[in-house]
A and B are shown apart, each in its own frame.
Chain A
Amino acid sequence: MSEVAVSDETLMSAVAEGDIEAFEQLFLRYQTAAWSVAYRYCSDATEAEDLVSDTFLRILDAAPRYRPTATFRTYFYRVLTRRCIDFARKKRPQPTDTLPPVHAPGLSQAESAIQRERNQLIQDALEQLSQKHRLVIVLRYFEGLSNIVIAEILQTSPKSIERMLARARKRLEPLLHSLLEEE
């Protein structure tokens, strides 16, 4: 197909008219981002799945009221991060299903074990952060979003994002100590 890709905002107006195919397009564009944020944020695969479903069904539900005042991307992350914070409020004390083991192809068993250990260490460290700080860290480092975009998503100023990042990093430093020493 040589067609120019339809913009997210156009797809969203179609969703508002009840076009479920347009919704599927948006889902396919954003599911990876949703999953990776939820995965890093929750440290629990079942919760991450619920969070992603919940986010997209919210977006579908709110489509008739959607006004493209910000880009759809910002709107999407806004819904997602709100769901993250709401989820944490009703979070069960014990994770029901820890993150699925990471299988990178071509890794030996020993290498896989090291990767799993690193992953666990990082997730444990992230869990020590407050919800907002954890979100800022995930959006900035795992999603690679700029401070300006993160500020738009969390509806605050880039300065305040910088302050949150500085505090979160200070908190993470001793927790990631063993990773900082490596290499």
Chain B
Amino acid sequence: MHCNDMSKQLAGYARGEIPQKKRIAVLRHLQQCAACRARLADLDTIAAALLKAPETPAAPERLARNVMQQARLQSRQTTEVTLGPIAWWRTATVAMRSAAVLALLFGLGLGSLMGTTASPPLVASRNLEPAPQGMNSLQAFRVLGDLPDASLAASYINLLGLETQRTEP
């Protein structure tokens, strides 16, 4: 920016009405040009005195590095905390999804195995009917009845079914 272009800007700056786009150029010019500062002093002595301060030195280089490093760490932590199962499913890769399905089915299978082989609780509430003997709780879930024949889940059900038949007296 040239001294000639500054006349209009000086009045604006003094009134606090500097256009947003010209802001940086005007400030830089005022910090470097004693002549324009002297003209500004006629309008606003304090402004002219403050602009005698040398330009603000650049921020230390490590600042950007540190902020981005911490930001990456922080965003990883929040992602882990805030991602619910549905959001996780949406962002997960095919391999991650398959692993999750396997883990879920394994858990269900293991859970129902333990359910049929563990000893009954010592004290049962009088109001609760005992589960029918030999009935595999997993098979009671109607949703699992619709599993495709060759699927891993179906094989689990079959396996469990055999297991319970074999243990029946």
Contact = CB atoms under 8 A, between A and B. Distances in A.
Contacts of B66: 49, 53
Interface in A121-169: 122, 137, 140-147, 149-150, 161-162, 165, 169
Query: Which 10 A-B pairs give the minimum distances between C-beta atoms?
Result: A35-B59, A147-B16, A144-B23, A179-B49, A36-B56, A102-B54, A115-B54, A176-B49, A122-B53, A169-B46
A116 B59 CA distance: 17
A86 interface: no
B26 interface: yes
Contacts of A31: 59, 63-64, 67
Interface of A: 18, 20, 23-24, 27-28, 31-32, 35-36, 39-40, 45, 49, 52-53, 56-57, 60-61, 64, 100, 102-104, 115-116, 118-119, 122, 137, 140-147, 149-150, 161-162, 165, 169, 172-173, 176, 179-180, 182-183
Given A24-B68, A122-B52, A172-B46, A57 B23 contact: no
27 contacts: A20-B71, A23-B71, A27-B64, A31-B59, A31-B67, A45-B60, A49-B63, A49-B66, A52-B63, A53-B70, A56-B67, A56-B71, A57-B71, A118-B52, A119-B54, A122-B52, A141-B46, A141-B51, A143-B23, A144-B24, A144-B26, A145-B16, A150-B16, A172-B46, A176-B49, A179-B49, A183-B34
